[in-house]
């Protein structure tokens, strides 16, 4: 009996919309996107910017503040694109791409902040 991808994941994913900024480490276009889901191990998003698989990225997640002040708290980390798929376009707005990012560098403070946010979303 085969196990599902969800069963093999080290970190459960949470469906949530969080603003983020991604930029290739070697420079290039900064893309502002919104997550479709998020975990301590990575995220899924769609983008109008095409970013090839295995591209290393600087990522800034804008997590909603936990103190009820309505502000956002940035969490900076490093990631790599592990999956990329072009989505069919039914409009003239241009191409869109599905991106799966794996976090490669998440310091203790960022991990704790992200973990607290995810706990509020479960």
Query: What CATH number is given to the structural domain containing 12?
Result: 2.40.10.220
Cβ contacts of 24 within 8 Å, gap of 6 or more: 51, 55, 56, 57, 58
**Predicted TM-score of the model (pTM):** 0.83
103: its two tokens: 């976090």
Q: What is the model's pLDDT at position 55?
A: 95
Helices (H), 16-99: none
- How many distinct structural domains can be found in the chain? 1
- The predicted-structure confidence for 62-105, as pLDDT tens digits, reads as follows 998 765 566 788 999 999 999 999 988 776 667 889 999 999 99
Q: 51 is in which domain, residue-wise?
A: 5-121
Report d(CA 63, CA 10) in Å as an integer.
22
Nearest to 16 by CA among 31, 2, 36: 36
DSSP 88: P
Nearest to 11 by CA among 106, 81, 109, 83: 106
């Amino acid at each position: 009996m085969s196990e599902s991808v969800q069963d093999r994941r080290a970190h459960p994913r949470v469906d949530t919309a969080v603003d983020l900024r991604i930029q290739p480490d070697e420079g290039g276009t900064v893309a502002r996107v919104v997550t479709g889901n998020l975990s301590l191990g990575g995220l899924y998003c769609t983008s109008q910017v095409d970013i090839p698989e295995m591209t290393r990225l600087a990522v800034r997640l804008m997590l909603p503040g936990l103190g009820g002040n309505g502000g956002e708290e940035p969490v900076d980390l490093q990631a790599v694109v592990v999956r990329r798929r072009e989505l069919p376009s039914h409009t003239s707005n241009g191409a869109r791409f599905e991106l799966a990012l794996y976090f490669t560098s998440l310091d203790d403070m960022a991990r704790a902040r992200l973990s607290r946010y995810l706990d509020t979303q479960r």
